[in-house]
Structure 1
Amino acid sequence: MIVHIANPIYDSVFKYLMEDERIAKTILSALLKKDVVSIAARPHEYANENRDKISMFSIDFAATVREADGKEHFILVELQKTWLETETLRFRQYLGAQYSDKRNIDRNSHEGYAIPMVTIYLLGHRVGDIEEPVVYVNHDSYDYDGNMITKGIPDPFIESLVHNSIIVQIPPLHGQINNRLERVLSVFDQTKANADDPHILSLDENTYAGDDNMEYIVHRLTEAAADSDMRQNMNVEDEYYSAIENRDTAIMNRDKKIKEQEKEILEKDKKLSEKDSQIRSLALALKDKGMSLQQIASLTGIDSERLKAILGS
């Protein structure tokens, strides 16, 4: 049976989705490839940064995760979502704020070590020529000869200064479900968007039969699709981004026109320089034959003052 869900690419829908603790644990467990035992959104961390330029929706979580060996530890998860292309400086600025936030220091650490952090980027656009929808960027430690260091790793000092990242490219999600993560991310698959209404994705609920967590996610998104306030919020986002795209298109066209004008000016300057060089060579040749500047000007039809400038005299 086909069900219609609200499109979680929209900030309002995504926020509604991630506010549910069970869903947040399900999505983050799949992304981290670890069992998220407990999770809590950091207070006052919902934000739409720099509305005048881009949308960079951010949520920070504090999570207890269980490793494959059964050990549990506490981490911070910084989740950022954008559906417009943006310069990486925006992400770095937000990341810098997290590094300098005193709340992210482990209070049980006498040395003042930071709580280990993982950053997750949900992108509504592709990154260069990378084809994989999900990219894991993990740090390792090496000695001078390139040998991996394992003794003493992970170390709290190193973990305080570097972090792992997960980059999700939403466009390459094309409905193939080969693992748990792809199943979870399938609710973001934009190829399932309704042709007449991009607010809605159409999913085959049989795909998730027997999977309680996924059925729960689909049910919450189905509720969102039927909520009039949510639909209005998506309309507002469409209007906002349409205005941004129109503005950016105008800026792009203006910049293109300026570049074309600059190119024309450079070509004219080049031709003028070449012409001046030819005139200078001719004037010098005539001057060597004993002709005066006035005679050369009369012969060439070039003003005496310009001849002086060309000849440098």
Structure 2
Amino acid sequence: MILHVANPIYDSVFKYIMSDERISKTILSALLKKEVVKVEMRPHEYVNTTRDTLSMFRIDFAATVREKDAEGEGFKDRVILIELQKTWLDTETLRFRQYLGAQYSNKINIRKDSPKGFAYPMVAVYLLGHRVGDIEEPVVYVNHDVFDYNGEVVEEGKEDPFVESLTHNSIIVQIPRLKGRVNNRLEKVLSVFDQSRKDAEDKQVLNIDENKYEDDADMMYMLHRLTAAAADSEMRQDMNVEDEYYKAIEDRDTAIMNRDKELKHKDEQLQQKSEQLQQKSEQLQQKSEQLQQKSEQLQQKSEQLQQKSEQLQQKSEQLQQKSEQLQQKSEQLQQKSEQLQQKSEQLNNIVKSLYSKGMNILQIAEITGINKDEVAAILN
């Protein structure tokens, strides 16, 4: 039986299922390849507080994982922090780093039972809606280790809290690389994010074959939650709002791309004109040399014609000067064009930086000296 479930690519749907402890334990256990016995969604102020962060959704978890003890004879539970960041646009890594930096400096992440102020070990999980270079695997693990001078792994004591407080492991998931792959437990869990299963007429819905999950109670539970989300009118409205925002972002990026093409075309035209002026200058130079030769020939015939020849020589020099002036003007125009382009980019960056720091359009207009309509146009 084919189920029509809500697409968890949407922030509203993703938050809805991750707020359910059973589902979050299912997903995190598969990602960590460890048994997660308890999950606590931690409060923070970094999740989608403005439109600009719509493309990057973040949730913090404190997860209690069950691991084998050092002797391998029993199990022990320990708490780790999971910083889960989801983005469906090709986002700069700086934004990921800034968020991780905030978590490293957050006192809430310091262990209360540690007199030395050690932090909980942390794992950063990135769910990406785009590909990462030439990496073919849909999920990759980036794990740190401890080495001595000779490059040998130091086994004894490498899980010391001092080490774990200053480094973290990462898990990178490339959603576009899933494409129906179900070769292990993790890929089975992540299959509900597979965008190749989108409904042909409604991208907010995925078509999932329920029969493939009948033997997995946790996955069936997740599918039923997603089915309920697809039927929820408020959830649908939130998804519509996200579609509108993404459409606005795409329109903005298209406008920027078209503007860049237009500027490049104008630069090419200026370059062509500069080359044409250079050719004319060379032609004038050639003509000047020809006139000089004729002048020398006429000098031999008559002193009167010599005077005319000198006049022609002067005119030739004037033409040369004009040619050089035209060349200089052409170079000046080229420099001004580049300066205007740089100033435009600098002004755009300043406006965006001020806006990201919480300034409104009127404040930015007052600081930069441009009118609010131009500020708004830069931010859209």
Asked if TM exceeds 0.5, the reply is yes
Structure 1 length normalisation: TM-score? 0.88
Report runs of 4+ in structure 1 exceeding 6 Å deviation.
277-287, 289-294, 308-311
Secondary structure of the equivalent of 1:59? strand
Q: Which residue does 1:188 correspond to in 2?
A: 193
Alignment of 1:25-104 (within 5 A): 25-45=25-45, 47-48=47-48, 50-52=50-52, 54-69=54-69, 70-104=75-109
1:151 aligns with 2:191: no
Distance across 1 between alignment mates of 2:196 and 2:327: 65
Deviations 1:228-264 (A, max 9, x none): 1111111111111111101111011112222332344
Unaligned runs of 5+ in 2: 70-74, 297-305, 329-380
Structure with a larger share of its residues in helix? 2
- What is the RMSD of the two structures over their aligned residues, measured on CA atoms? 2.9
> Which structure has more RCO (C-alpha within 8 Å, separation ≥ 6)?
1
Distance across 2 between alignment mates of 1:308 and 1:235: 59
Aligned residue pairs: how many? 311
Query: Residue 38 of structure 1 aligns to which amino acid in structure 2?
Result: K
Q: Which residue does 1:21 correspond to in 2?
A: 21
Query: Residue 77 of structure 2 aligns to which amino acid in structure 1?
Result: E
Would the aligned equivalents of 2:291 and 2:312 in 1 still touch at CA under 8 Å?
Answer: no
Would the aligned equivalents of 2:274 and 2:327 in 1 still touch at CA under 8 Å?
Answer: no
User: Greater shift after overlay, 21-30 or 105-114?
Assistant: 105-114
Deviations 1:64-105 (A, max 9, x none): 111244222111000011111111111111111111111111
Structure 2 length normalisation: TM-score? 0.74
Query: Residue 197 of structure 2 aligns to which amino acid in structure 1?
Result: K
Distance across 2 between alignment mates of 1:112 and 1:198: 47
- TM-superposed deviation, 1:209: 0.7
Unaligned runs of 5+ in 1: none
User: Greater shift after overlay, 183-192 or 99-108?
Assistant: 99-108
Aligned partner of 1:302 among 294, 306, 319: 319
Query: Residue 63 of structure 1 aligns to which amino acid in structure 2?
Result: A
Would the aligned equivalents of 1:294 and 1:304 in 2 still touch at CA under 8 Å?
Answer: no
Deviations 1:133-190 (A, max 9, x none): 1011111122233222222202222211111000111111122211110110011111
236 and 277 in structure 1: CA distance in 2 versus 1, 3 angstrom threshold: same
Distance across 2 between alignment mates of 1:46 and 1:52: 12
Secondary structure of the equivalent of 1:120? strand
Distance across 1 between alignment mates of 2:178 and 2:142: 19
Identity level (%): 61
Structure of higher CA gyration radius = 2
Distance across 2 between alignment mates of 1:193 and 1:214: 18
Would the aligned equivalents of 1:45 and 1:58 in 2 still touch at CA under 8 Å?
Answer: no
